[in-house]
Amino acid sequence: MGTGVESNWIDVQMRTSLDAGEVLGLLNDPSVTGGWLDGDGTVHFYWPAGEWSGERLAHLRAVLLQLGDGSAGASIEIREEPAQDWNRLWAQSVTPLRIGRRVLIRPSWEPEDGGSDTIELVIDPKQAFGTGHHATTSLLIEWIEDLVVGGMSILDVGTGSGILAMVALRCGAGRAVGLDCDPEAIECARGYAAQNGFDEETLRLTVGRLTAELVETPEPWQLVLANLDCRTLLETSELLARLAQRGATLLFSGILVEQEEEIRLAYAERGVYGTEVKRKDGWVALRLRASESCDG
Ligand SMILES: C[S@@+](CC[C@H](N)C(=O)[O-])C[C@H]1O[C@@H](n2cnc3c(N)ncnc32)[C@H](O)[C@@H]1O
Answer yes or no: is 1 within a domain. Answer: no
Domain boundary among the residues 92, 117, 146 is at 92
| 88 and 100 housed in the same domain | no
Say how many Å lie between the CA of residue 226 and the centre of ligand 1: 8
| 127 and 274 housed in the same domain | yes
| 265 and 158 housed in the same domain | yes
Ligand 1: which of 232, 234, 238, 255 to mutate, most ligand atoms within 8 Å of CB?
232
Question: Ligand 1 atom closest to Cα of 180?
Answer: 22
| 82 and 106 housed in the same domain | no
Answer yes or no: is 174 within a domain. Answer: yes
The closest of 232, 241, 137, 255 to 182, measured between CA atoms, is 232
What is the number of alpha carbons within 13 Å of residue 282 lying toward its C-beta? 7
Answer yes or no: is 131 within a domain. Answer: yes
Which alpha helices (H) appear in the chain, and where do they start and end? 20-27, 54-66, 70-74, 86-93, 135-147, 163-170, 183-195, 212-215, 230-235, 237-245, 260-268
| 84 and 99 housed in the same domain | no
Domain boundary among the residues 64, 92, 120 is at 92
> pLDDT tens, 139-180?
999 999 999 999 999 999 999 999 999 999 999 999 999 999
| Residue 3: pLDDT over 70 | no
What amino acid is encoded at 144 in this protein? Answer: I
Answer yes or no: is 20 within a domain. Answer: yes
Q: Whose CA is nearest to atom 13 of ligand 1?
A: 158
Answer yes or no: is 255 within a domain. Answer: yes
The DSSP-derived string for 179-243 is EES-HHHHHHHHHHHHHTT--TTTEEEEES---HHHHT-SS--SEEEEE--HHHHHHTHHHHHHH
| 234 and 284 housed in the same domain | yes
> pLDDT tens, 60-104?
999 999 888 888 888 899 998 776 655 555 566 667 889 999 999
| 182 and 194 housed in the same domain | yes
Answer yes or no: is 2 within a domain. Answer: no
Which pLDDT score is estimated for 4? Answer: 38
| 171 and 119 housed in the same domain | yes
| 197 and 241 housed in the same domain | yes
Q: What single DSSP character describes residue 293?
A: S
- The β-bridge partners of 142 are none
Banded model confidence at residue 295, pLDDT cuts 50, 70, 90:
very low
Which pLDDT score is estimated for 35? Answer: 72
Which pLDDT score is estimated for 109? Answer: 82
The closest of 143, 206, 140 to 179, measured between CA atoms, is 206
| 65 and 137 housed in the same domain | no
Strand, helix or coil for residue 24: helix
| 16 and 49 housed in the same domain | yes
Q: Which residues line ligand 1 (CB under 6 A)?
A: 19, 129-130, 136-137, 140, 157-160, 163-164, 179-182, 185, 209, 227-228, 232, 254
Which domain CATH number covers 251? 3.40.50.150
| Residue 296: pLDDT over 70 | no
Q: Count the Cβ atoms, other than its own, within 10 Å of residue 173.
A: 24
Structural domain of 118: 94-294
Interface pTM (ipTM) of the complex? 0.99
The closest of 294, 234, 222, 231 to 267, measured between CA atoms, is 234
Angle between helices 183-195 and 163-170 (to 10 degrees): 30
Which domain CATH number covers 14? 3.30.70
Instruction: Please state the residue numbers annotated as binding site.
Output: 137, 158, 180, 227
- The β-bridge partners of 207 are 180
In sequence order, the 6+-apart residues with CB closer than 8 A to the CB of 95 are: 39, 107, 110
Give the total number of structural domains in the chain.
Answer: 2
Which pLDDT score is estimated for 85? Answer: 59
Q: What single DSSP character describes residue 83?
A: S
Answer yes or no: is 232 within a domain. Answer: yes
| Residue 134: pLDDT over 90 | no
Answer yes or no: is 3 within a domain. Answer: no
Question: Ligand 1 atom closest to Cα of 253?
Answer: 8
Torsion of CA 102, 165, 160, 255, to 10 degrees: -70
Say how many Å lie between the CA of residue 82 and the centre of ligand 1: 34
Say how many Å lie between the CA of residue 18 and the centre of ligand 1: 10
- Report the alpha-carbon distance of residue 295 to residue 146 in Å, rounded: 14
> pLDDT tens, 218-259?
999 999 999 998 999 999 999 999 999 999 999 999 999 999
Which pLDDT score is estimated for 29? Answer: 83
Say how many Å lie between the CA of residue 213 and the centre of ligand 1: 19
Question: Ligand 1 atom closest to Cα of 209?
Answer: 20
Domain boundary among the residues 70, 92, 114 is at 92
| 99 and 80 housed in the same domain | no
Which pLDDT score is estimated for 128? Answer: 59
Banded model confidence at residue 2, pLDDT cuts 50, 70, 90:
very low
Which pLDDT score is estimated for 91? Answer: 63
